[in-house]
Structure 1
Amino acid sequence: MASPLLWTLFLISIIFFLKSHAEQEDTPITRFQQYLRFRTDHPNPNYTAAVSFLINQAQSINLSTRTIEFVPGKPVLLLTWLGSNPKLPSLLFNSHLDSVPAEADKWIHPPFSAHRTDDGRIYARGAQDDKCIGVQYLESIKNLKSRGFSPLRTVHISYVPEEEIGGFDGMEKFAVSSEFAELNVGFVVDEGQASPGDEYRVFYGDRTPWELVIRAEGIPGHGAKLYDDGAMENLMKSVELISRFRETQFDFVKAGKAANSEVISVNPVYLKAGTASNTGFVMNMQPSEAEAGYDLRLPPMADPYALKKRIAEEWAPSIRNMTYTIKEKGKLRDHLGRVIMTSTDDSNPWWSIFKKAVEATGGKLAKPEILLSSTDARYIRSLGIQVLGFSPMINTPVLVHDHNEFLKDTVFMKGIEVYESVISALCSFDGVYDQVI
């Protein structure tokens, strides 16, 4: 009779064999893992292999494919499932190819190994942000096709580059192109975020980033001298005023009167001043120039004109020998002057259909939110097109850009089911929505 130790070793070998065999199978999970292993992380994303993989997956389920490059080496991949009435406005499901970098030594599993643990966690950079939805779109269409489902509206899937660094060579150029206009898009689903609870989060707007740099000038002087209008003195006055504004915004959040994403956030990111020396800075000399940089995030309902007035008159007034620059990385109003947000009430039939489709899978939507940061959705919303941000990940910690980003296999598989319901419901809508573009 075999000893307990031999039986234990035998069982362990069987487990390892089965796990290794499962890794080699061609399943939605293994296809997800394969996509995660492509190194599309910045600063040098390699899009070629990832795009080739997606094209092969699309062709295996008879979707048409098209690759467009608005900037060499930065492809936009477009997949299409033709509807029976292509005259109706189409649907677009978007995700991005790229991911942020990962510090490998701070991960418990290599960030590009897509390691799957015994409890089903798949560790990889991009597991949540947002390669999961890029695969789920395809898997859901594959399942719908296998059941003989045919869409009324044409369904497009786009995979765009450079989202993680602003989307300027990706969706920004794609959204204003003739190729995008030809798609006749009526409604878009883009990425969202995970939810630690059991309700799916959905986003109807993004915050718009501004990069603010303020500069002060003054007459240089001895470090021991007190005098008015020095560069550092003027800059510090501005820093105090900006800090007070930040506190008033943060007070709304602390009091529960607004979410983080519903206020204007202002965060200092650098200070630059001083006269350099071989050993650091000249300590007995007051500098003639000083500079500070701020990261601002404006919710859609913010008044950009009022904020610019505040900056010009209070934060960096010329009467204190100050200048400033603002780099607006997006819009707060569309070309008709409307606030760039998607309606999440019964006035928007797309919203009603989307909500019912999620609920049909046993899911529940949380209160719609404005995204704390920004995504490629802002470029499409600025055209007057309705966009919802949605990534079906419940009971999952938010690990966007964090170490040890993971997604459980069961959550990933449930997401496919949710997208099956969402895609089939949206592309079966035969009504008309009068949006002005």
Structure 2
Amino acid sequence: MTDSRPGIRIIRWLKIIVSVVFATVFLLFTIASIRTLSLDVNIGLQLARWEKTNNLSLVLDGAQREALVARFKDAIRVPTVSFSETHSNTSALLDFDTLLRRAFPTVFSSSLVQHELVANYSHLFWVRGSQPDLEPYLLLAHMDVVPASEADGWDAPPFSAQEIDGFIYGRGTIDDKCAVMGILQALEYLLIRGYAPRRGFYIGLGHDEEVSGYNGAVNMARLLKQRGVQLLFVLDEGLAILDGVISGLDGPAALIGVSEKGAATVKLSVSTAPGHSSMPPRETSIGILAAAVKRLEDNPMPRLFGRGPERATFQHLAHKFRLPLKFVMSNLWLFSPLLGRVLEMKPETNAFVRTTTAVTIFNSGVKVNVIPSYAEAYVNLRIHSAHLLQEVLDLIHLTVADQRVKIDLVQGFDPLPVSSADEKSFGFQIIKKTVLDMFPTVTVAPGICVGNTDSRNFKDLTRDIYRFAPVWFKPGDPQRFHGINERISKKNYEELVVFYFNLIQNFDLQQLPEPHSSVHEL
């Protein structure tokens, strides 16, 4: 006989529901705990079975180290500023050409190295390998810098290369003359020691990367394409070694960029009838445009964390986080929405979560007592890997939702493809090995560049593009990038030279060894 009283039935159903919910939560917690405890901290290849390729080691005495740093300081003092796509300091670029030839005579005279100028100022080097069947690679860097003024509040003049407490201050110290000089210095040392590579490689030094590389990188890529060159991979600037920058992470992390966000510049404009300020209309061109801009700022692009390569970053770093973050990072299948909400709280991590929207220029008005007939604003967007340019434009139209506001795409491109970073990825694993050989306590992980580099112009020549240099960033250092007091320590610059010295030799490996163990699937 069943009890038909409604209250009893409701209580029984509530008990069943509570039991199911409790069992589900317990099961999820158990699975998540097992995954956290069973993390394979040795993600990737075991280094013990690598064939030794870097037979040459770089040990410098005090005088050689001082000379190395002096050459770098000379490079910083040359103001190779790119002001716009049509305005660069060309006389400084010519001076920089002279400096390179003087600083690295062996590179420019070796029978192994073929050099040519591209678009008058960029440099393209081909270093011939002894085994032409090995696919070549490209090391990429750029010589130009963004403008800087001592009036902005620098501790030392931005083109002085002044040394303060072991740091060299100046525009280009980290973006990107450290790589320009580091790569060529490493090659100079190798050639002097009689090194001849097995695997041929290119070095490309662009002169206008800071203004999109339309002359330098674009023409270098075009030349290589015309010659039928296919590249195993490209290594350019981008990410770095972060020490204390990622909250909750135990130890430093070297992030190797496997993709970069897309970009777009969009112009919003409003045209209305002009008038006298004594008889203003209810809405002016400035007011209409300001309201549209406010709507864009109040309604950010959707949160997309977990749908791009940023997910792999946290998976690779999960075992280095302290509890309770380790529990969260080990189970992104469950906690991605929560982590996405946390990351969007700070500007520097919000960039990993979504397509960002930044209003950077607002123009209108000519006189204080004249209602302007025209107002315009420029919006710069950095497009998440899970977004397409057209989708972003559609969202802007939906958000602005005002036919009086004209929306024009000035320029833009989709996010770059995601390069491989698994145990069979030659370029990624060689870079990783070189980092770990030098810095054993560092954790290596794939990452995404929120800015753009010259490397995107070479995407038709290779499947894999990596963006990394072993520049150490402590808390506060990322803000120096394009900001005031850009600097690098003397020790760190020397480490860059050693890194490229070892890296070039490591790339002579014909193929990757078989891994000792399988990779743990997080």
TM-score (norm 2): 0.67
Q: Is the 8 A contact 1:122 1:407 kept in 2?
A: yes
Q: Is the 8 A contact 1:93 1:156 kept in 2?
A: yes
TM alignment of 1:3-402, pairs within 5 A: 27-43=67-83, 44-45=89-90, 46-61=92-107, 62=110, 64-70=113-119, 74-105=120-151, 106-117=153-164, 119-145=165-191, 148-178=194-224, 181-197=227-243, 198-218=252-272, 231-232=285-286, 234-246=288-300, 255-256=342-343, 259-274=350-365, 276-277=366-367, 280-282=368-370, 285=371, 287-315=372-400, 317=402, 320-329=403-412, 331-332=413-414, 340-363=417-440, 364-381=442-459, 383-396=461-474, 397-398=477-478, 399-402=480-483
Provide the rounded CA distance (Å) in 2 between the counterparts of 1:420 and 1:215.
Answer: 52
Would the alpha carbon gap of residues 37 and 368 (structure 1) be closer, same or farther in structure 2, given more than 3 Å must change?
A: same
1:28 aligned counterpart, secondary structure: helix
> Deviation per CA, 1:274-314, whole angstroms, max 9, x where unpaired?
5x43xx233xx5x5443222111113331222222223344
Provide the rounded CA distance (Å) in 1 between the counterparts of 2:98 and 2:363.
Answer: 45
Would the alpha carbon gap of residues 65 and 108 (structure 1) be closer, same or farther in structure 2, given more than 3 Å must change?
A: farther
Higher-Rg structure is 2
Provide the rounded CA distance (Å) in 1 between the counterparts of 2:161 and 2:284.
Answer: 55
Provide the rounded CA distance (Å) in 1 between the counterparts of 2:121 and 2:193.
Answer: 32
Provide the rounded CA distance (Å) in 2 between the counterparts of 1:113 and 1:229.
Answer: 50
Equivalences, count: 392
> Deviation per CA, 1:6-40, whole angstroms, max 9, x where unpaired?
xxxxxxxxxxxxxxxx8998722222122222221
Shift of 1:98: 0.8
Q: Is the 8 A contact 1:360 1:421 kept in 2?
A: no
Q: Is the 8 A contact 1:393 1:411 kept in 2?
A: yes
Question: Is the aligned partner of 1:415 residue 2:496?
Answer: yes
Shift of 1:184: 3.3
Q: Name whichever of 77-86 and 49-58 sits farther off.
A: 49-58
Provide the rounded CA distance (Å) in 2 between the counterparts of 1:151 and 1:25.
Answer: 25
TM-score (norm 1): 0.78
Would the alpha carbon gap of residues 180 and 255 (structure 1) be closer, same or farther in structure 2, given more than 3 Å must change?
A: farther
Shift of 1:348: 2.3
Q: Is the 8 A contact 2:232 2:462 kept in 1?
A: no
Letter in 2 for 1:379: N
Shift of 1:209: 2.4
Shift of 1:95: 0.8
Shift of 1:384: 4.3
Shift of 1:228: 8.1
Shift of 1:75: 1.5
Provide the rounded CA distance (Å) in 1 between the counterparts of 2:508 and 2:173.
Answer: 27
1:420 aligned counterpart, secondary structure: helix
Provide the rounded CA distance (Å) in 1 between the counterparts of 2:150 and 2:281.
Answer: 51
The percent identity for this pair of structures is 22
Q: Is the 8 A contact 1:332 1:340 kept in 2?
A: no
Provide the rounded CA distance (Å) in 2 between the counterparts of 1:420 and 1:207.
Answer: 30
The aligned counterpart of 2:507 is 426
Provide the rounded CA distance (Å) in 1 between the counterparts of 2:510 and 2:99.
Answer: 31
Provide the rounded CA distance (Å) in 1 between the counterparts of 2:481 and 2:284.
Answer: 42
Q: Name whichever of 398-407 and 124-133 sits farther off.
A: 398-407
1:261 aligned counterpart, secondary structure: coil
1:394 aligned counterpart, secondary structure: strand
Q: Is the 8 A contact 2:299 2:399 kept in 1?
A: no
Provide the rounded CA distance (Å) in 1 between the counterparts of 2:495 and 2:98.
Answer: 26
Shift of 1:220: 5.7
Q: Is the 8 A contact 1:91 1:427 kept in 2?
A: no
Would the alpha carbon gap of residues 56 and 79 (structure 1) be closer, same or farther in structure 2, given more than 3 Å must change?
A: farther
Q: Is the 8 A contact 1:218 1:230 kept in 2?
A: yes
Letter in 1 for 2:451: S
Q: Is the 8 A contact 1:316 1:323 kept in 2?
A: no
Provide the rounded CA distance (Å) in 2 between the counterparts of 1:127 and 1:115.
Answer: 11
Shift of 1:223: 6.6
In structure 1, runs of 5+ residues without a counterpart are 1-21, 334-338, 432-437
Q: Is the 8 A contact 2:389 2:414 kept in 1?
A: yes
> Deviation per CA, 1:388-424, whole angstroms, max 9, x where unpaired?
1111112552322222222111111122222222221
